[in-house]
Amino acid sequence: MIDLQVSAQSLEPLFNPKSVAILGASAEPSRIGGMPLRYMLQYGFNGAIYPVNPNHDEIQGLKAYAKIGDLGQSVDAAILAVPARIAVEVAQECADSGAKTLCAFTSGFSEAGKDGIVLQARLKEIAEKSGMRILGPNCLGYFNARARYYPTFSTSITHGEPKLGTVGMVSQSGAFGSHCFVLGRERGLGFTYLATTGNEVDVDVADCIAYLAYHDETKVIAAYMEGCQDGEKLMTALELAYKRGKPVVIQKVGRTEVGAKAAFSHTASLAGSDKVYDEVFRHFNVYRAQTAAELIDIAYLLSFGIWPTDNKIAVATISGGAGVLMADASVDAGLNMAPMPEDTQARLKELIPFASSRNPVDFTAQVYNEFPLVTDYVRAIFEEGGYDSVIAFFSSLLFSEPLTKKIVDALLSIRKEFPERLFLLCAMGPAANRSLVEEHGIPVLEDPTHAIEAIAAVTAIGQGFKDGIRPAPSTDCASTIFPGPINETDAKKILANIGIHSPIETLAKTRDDAIAKAQTIDGPVALKIVSTDIHHKSDIGGVELSLTGDKAIGEAFDRIIEKSRTAHPGASLDGVLVSEMVSDGVEAILGVQHDPNFGPVILFGLGGVFAEVLRDVSLRLAPFDKEIAHQMIREINGYPILAGARSTPAVDLDALATSLSHLSIFAAVNANVIESIDINPVRIRTSGIIALDALIVTKT
| 493 in a structural domain | no
| pLDDT for the residue numbered 612 | 67
Contact 104, 136 (CB under 8 A): yes
**Quick one: how far is CA 343 from the chain centroid?**
44
Do 417 and 564 reside in the same domain of the chain?
no
Q: What count of residues does the chain have? A: 700
| 491 in a structural domain | no
Do 656 and 571 reside in the same domain of the chain?
no
3-state secondary structure of 510: coil
| pLDDT for the residue numbered 263 | 32
Burial class (CB in 10 A: 0-12, 13-18, 19+), 422: buried
Instruction: Determine the Cα–Cα distance for residues 287 and 222; give it in Å rounded to an integer.
Output: 10
Do 74 and 213 reside in the same domain of the chain?
yes
Instruction: Determine the Cα–Cα distance for residues 663 and 132; give it in Å rounded to an integer.
Output: 43
Do 434 and 379 reside in the same domain of the chain?
yes
Do 576 and 592 reside in the same domain of the chain?
no
| pLDDT for the residue numbered 357 | 87
Do 524 and 631 reside in the same domain of the chain?
no
| 392 in a structural domain | yes
List Cβ neighbours of 298 (8 Å cut-off, separation of 6 or more): 222, 249, 287, 289, 454, 457, 458
| 526 in a structural domain | yes
Handedness of CA 333, 334, 339, 340 (dihedral sign): negative
Do 286 and 338 reside in the same domain of the chain?
no
| 109 in a structural domain | yes
CATH number where 407 lies: 3.40.50.261
> What is the total count of domains within the chain?
4
> Tens digit of pLDDT for each residue in 20-74?
999 999 999 999 999 999 999 999 999 999 999 999 999 999 999 999 999 999 9
List Cβ neighbours of 268 (8 Å cut-off, separation of 6 or more): 258, 261, 262, 593, 676
| 495 in a structural domain | no
Instruction: Determine the Cα–Cα distance for residues 116 and 77; give it in Å rounded to an integer.
Output: 24
CATH number where 240 lies: 3.40.50.720
Instruction: Determine the Cα–Cα distance for residues 36 and 51; give it in Å rounded to an integer.
Output: 10
Burial class (CB in 10 A: 0-12, 13-18, 19+), 102: buried
Give residue 341's domain range.
Answer: 313-467
CATH number where 522 lies: 3.30.1490.20
| pLDDT for the residue numbered 140 | 96
Domain closes at, from 444, 467, 490? 467
State the amino acid at position 383 in one-letter form.
Answer: E
| pLDDT for the residue numbered 270 | 47
State the amino acid at position 93 in one-letter form.
Answer: E
Domain closes at, from 532, 549, 580? 580
3-state secondary structure of 476: coil
| pLDDT for the residue numbered 254 | 79
Do 268 and 374 reside in the same domain of the chain?
no
| pLDDT for the residue numbered 356 | 87
List Cβ neighbours of 22 (8 Å cut-off, separation of 6 or more): 33, 36, 37, 49, 50, 51, 52, 78, 79, 81, 151
Do 407 and 327 reside in the same domain of the chain?
yes
| 245 in a structural domain | yes
Q: How far is CA 276 from CA 496, 585, 620, in A?
A: 27, 29, 8
Which residues lie across from 621 on neighbouring strands?
Answer: 601
| 474 in a structural domain | no
| pLDDT for the residue numbered 1 | 63
Do 200 and 98 reside in the same domain of the chain?
yes
- The kind and range of the H/E element at 639 are helix 639-643
Domain closes at, from 580, 596, 616? 580
| pLDDT for the residue numbered 262 | 36
Cis peptide preceding 623, ω within 30 of 0 = yes
Do 115 and 249 reside in the same domain of the chain?
yes
Do 531 and 394 reside in the same domain of the chain?
no
- The kind and range of the H/E element at 103 are strand 101-104
Instruction: Determine the Cα–Cα distance for residues 618 and 657; give it in Å rounded to an integer.
Output: 13
- Please report the beta strands in 172-293, taking only residues with DSSP state E, as ranges in sequence order: 190-196, 220-225, 248-252, 286-288
Closest to 82 in 3D by CA, of 100, 70, 66, 63: 66
CATH number where 655 lies: 3.30.470.20
All residue ranges of the chain with pLDDT < 70 are 1, 255-272, 608-610, 612-613
